[in-house]
Protein backbone atom coordinates (compact mmCIF):
# COMPACT_ATOMS: atom_id res chain seq x y z
CA UNK A 1 0.00 0.00 0.00
CA UNK A 2 1.41 3.37 -0.99
CA UNK A 3 0.67 6.49 1.08
CA UNK A 4 -1.48 9.03 -0.72
CA UNK A 5 -2.24 6.81 -3.72
CA UNK A 6 -5.67 5.25 -3.88
CA UNK A 7 -6.61 1.98 -5.58
CA UNK A 8 -8.66 3.97 -8.06
CA UNK A 9 -5.55 5.68 -9.40
CA UNK A 10 -3.63 2.43 -9.78
CA UNK A 11 -6.51 0.75 -11.56
CA UNK A 12 -6.84 3.72 -13.91
CA UNK A 13 -3.15 3.41 -14.72
CA UNK A 14 -3.37 -0.30 -15.44
CA UNK A 15 -6.52 0.13 -17.53
CA UNK A 16 -4.80 2.80 -19.61
CA UNK A 17 -1.76 0.52 -19.94
CA UNK A 18 -3.99 -2.37 -21.04
CA UNK A 19 -5.71 -0.34 -23.72
CA UNK A 20 -2.41 1.10 -24.97
CA UNK A 21 -1.48 -2.55 -25.47
CA UNK A 22 -4.73 -3.25 -27.33
CA UNK A 23 -4.20 -0.18 -29.50
CA UNK A 24 -0.65 -1.18 -30.29
CA UNK A 25 -1.69 -4.73 -31.13
CA UNK A 26 -4.33 -3.51 -33.55
CA UNK A 27 -2.26 -0.85 -35.31
CA UNK A 28 1.26 -2.29 -35.53
CA UNK A 29 2.07 -4.60 -38.42
CA UNK A 30 5.49 -5.75 -37.25
CA UNK A 31 5.13 -9.01 -35.36
CA UNK A 32 7.75 -8.08 -32.74
CA UNK A 33 5.98 -4.80 -32.02
CA UNK A 34 2.71 -6.71 -31.67
CA UNK A 35 4.40 -9.02 -29.19
CA UNK A 36 5.57 -6.01 -27.18
CA UNK A 37 2.01 -4.65 -27.06
CA UNK A 38 0.89 -8.04 -25.84
CA UNK A 39 3.43 -7.83 -23.01
CA UNK A 40 1.98 -4.44 -22.03
CA UNK A 41 -1.48 -5.99 -21.71
CA UNK A 42 -0.23 -8.88 -19.62
CA UNK A 43 1.87 -6.66 -17.36
CA UNK A 44 -1.13 -4.41 -16.73
CA UNK A 45 -2.92 -7.47 -15.38
CA UNK A 46 -0.04 -8.50 -13.17
CA UNK A 47 0.01 -5.02 -11.57
CA UNK A 48 -3.78 -5.17 -11.29
CA UNK A 49 -3.71 -8.37 -9.28
CA UNK A 50 -1.01 -7.18 -6.89
CA UNK A 51 -2.66 -3.82 -6.29
CA UNK A 52 -6.11 -5.27 -5.71
CA UNK A 53 -4.67 -7.85 -3.35
CA UNK A 54 -2.75 -5.25 -1.36
CA UNK A 55 -5.60 -2.76 -1.06
CA UNK A 56 -8.74 -4.85 -0.78
CA UNK A 57 -7.87 -8.20 0.81
CA UNK A 58 -4.34 -8.01 2.24
CA UNK A 59 -4.86 -11.01 4.53
CA UNK A 60 -4.79 -13.69 1.79
CA UNK A 61 -2.16 -13.57 -0.93
CA UNK A 62 -4.27 -14.96 -3.79
CA UNK A 63 -3.64 -12.02 -6.10
CA UNK A 64 0.11 -11.93 -5.61
CA UNK A 65 0.46 -15.64 -6.31
CA UNK A 66 -1.68 -15.18 -9.38
CA UNK A 67 0.57 -12.41 -10.67
CA UNK A 68 3.65 -14.64 -10.28
CA UNK A 69 1.99 -17.26 -12.46
CA UNK A 70 1.01 -14.60 -14.98
CA UNK A 71 4.63 -13.47 -15.33
CA UNK A 72 5.86 -17.04 -15.83
CA UNK A 73 3.21 -17.88 -18.41
CA UNK A 74 3.72 -14.61 -20.27
CA UNK A 75 7.40 -15.49 -20.61
CA UNK A 76 6.53 -18.95 -21.94
CA UNK A 77 4.07 -17.49 -24.41
CA UNK A 78 6.58 -14.94 -25.66
CA UNK A 79 9.22 -17.61 -26.12
CA UNK A 80 6.82 -19.71 -28.18
CA UNK A 81 5.73 -16.74 -30.29
CA UNK A 82 9.33 -15.67 -30.89
CA UNK A 83 10.27 -19.20 -31.99
CA UNK A 84 7.49 -19.23 -34.56
CA UNK A 85 8.32 -15.68 -35.70
CA UNK A 86 11.97 -16.69 -36.20
CA UNK A 87 10.86 -19.66 -38.22
CA UNK A 88 8.65 -17.43 -40.36
CA UNK A 89 11.62 -15.12 -40.87
CA UNK A 90 13.75 -18.01 -42.09
CA UNK A 91 11.08 -19.00 -44.58
CA UNK A 92 10.09 -15.60 -45.92
CA UNK A 93 12.76 -13.11 -44.73
CA UNK A 94 9.96 -10.91 -43.47
CA UNK A 95 8.08 -10.44 -40.20
CA UNK A 96 5.36 -8.08 -41.33
CA UNK A 97 1.83 -9.38 -40.77
CA UNK A 98 0.67 -7.88 -44.04
CA UNK A 99 2.89 -10.37 -45.83
CA UNK A 100 1.42 -13.32 -43.92
CA UNK A 101 -1.53 -13.78 -46.21
CA UNK A 102 -1.54 -17.16 -47.89
CA UNK A 103 -4.58 -18.30 -45.95
CA UNK A 104 -7.57 -16.14 -46.74
CA UNK A 105 -11.37 -16.35 -46.71
Residues engaged in binding another protein (CB under 8 A): 11, 18, 21, 25, 31, 34, 38, 41-42, 44-45, 48-49, 52, 56-57, 62-63, 65-66, 69-70, 73, 76-77, 80-81, 84-85, 87-88, 91-92, 97, 100, 102-105
Least CB distance from residue 93 to another protein, whole Å? 12
Is residue 15 within a helix (H) or strand (E), and if so which, with residue range? helix 7-27
Least CB distance from residue 1 to another protein, whole Å? 15
Report DSSP state, residue 93. S
For residue 2, what are the CA distances in angstroms to 9, 54, 67?
11, 10, 19
Least CB distance from residue 51 to another protein, whole Å? 9
Amino acid sequence: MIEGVSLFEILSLTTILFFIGVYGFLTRTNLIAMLMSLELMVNAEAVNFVAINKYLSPAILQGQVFSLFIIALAAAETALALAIILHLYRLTENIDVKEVKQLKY
